[in-house]
Amino acid sequence: MSLAKRRALVTGSTSGIGLAIARALAKEGADVVINGFGDKAAIETERSKIEKEFGVKAFYNGADMTKGPEIEAMIADAQSKMGSLDILVNNAGIQFVSPIENFPPEKWDAIIAINLSSAFHAIRAAVPGMKAQKWGRIINTASAHSLVASPFKSAYVAAKHGLAGLTKTVALELATFGVTANCISPGYVWTPLVERQVPDTMKARSMTREQVISDVMLAAQPTKQFVTVDQVASLAVYLCSDAAAQITGANLSIDGGWTAA
C-alpha cells in the first residue's frame, strides 16, 4: 500500500493515537501536518523524526481546537504548504469524568468543542478542495462510546455519538465525489488521555488504580487487553487506501469485543 504524493493532516497528533496515525501515514509516503499542544521542543523532535525516518515533509500547526477560525486557518495553511489536503484525520480529544450533577459546564463546553465541533470546522474547510480533486479521505477518531455509554462521561459520550452522526451525514453528501468519511471507534487504548482518566475514575468510583484498570477499563473489553495505538493507526492507513474506496459512512469498532455484547 502506498500513499506517496498524498497529503494528510491529523489533529491531536503530538502524542498517543494521533501521533501513531501521523507516523503510519508518513511511513506509507504521505506528507503530514501534525497538530496539538505540548512541549515545543518535544513536538519539534517528533516532527523532525517523521521527516528523517520516512523521507516525507512534515509540518506542525498549533491551532487551538476550540476555535473555529484557527481550525479553518490550519486547513488553509496545510493546503498552501503541501499543495492540497487529501486526508483529514479528526483525532483531537479530551476527557473529564464526573457525576452529571457535579459536571462543570465549562468542561462540557470544552469537550463538545474539541471532540465534536472541531471536526465540523475542519471538515467544512477541507471538503471544497477534496470535492474539486475528486478524492479524499476523512477519518474521525470516535470511541466505543460512540455506540454505548458509560457512567460519569456525559459530555464525552454525547460528543462521540454526535461525531458518529456527523460522519454518516458527511459520507452521504460526498458519496459521488470520490471522498469517503468513516469513524474509527477504539475501546480503551493505553494513551496519555486514558492514563489521565484513572485518578478521576478512582475518585468518582472510590476505587484503587488497579481496580479502575481491571474492573472498569478492561472489564469492558472481552479480550482483557488494551488496544494499541499501532493497531488503530493500521486501520486508519487501510481506510486511506484504494482498497477501502467503497467503505464510507462506517463506524468501525476496534475494541476487543466491547460493543459485541
Catalytic residues: 156
Distance set, CA 90 to CA 105, 118, 127, 218, 222 (Å): 24, 8, 13, 25, 27
Handedness of CA 50, 15, 89, 260 (dihedral sign): positive
Please, what is the end-to-end C-alpha distance for the chain in angstroms? 33
Q: Which long-range contacts (CB under 8 A, 24 or more apart) does 230-234 make?
A: 230/20, 230/24, 232/17, 232/20, 232/21, 232/141, 232/184, 232/186, 232/189, 233/17, 233/20, 233/21, 233/23, 233/24, 234/24
SS3 at position 235: helix
Strand partners, 138: 88, 181
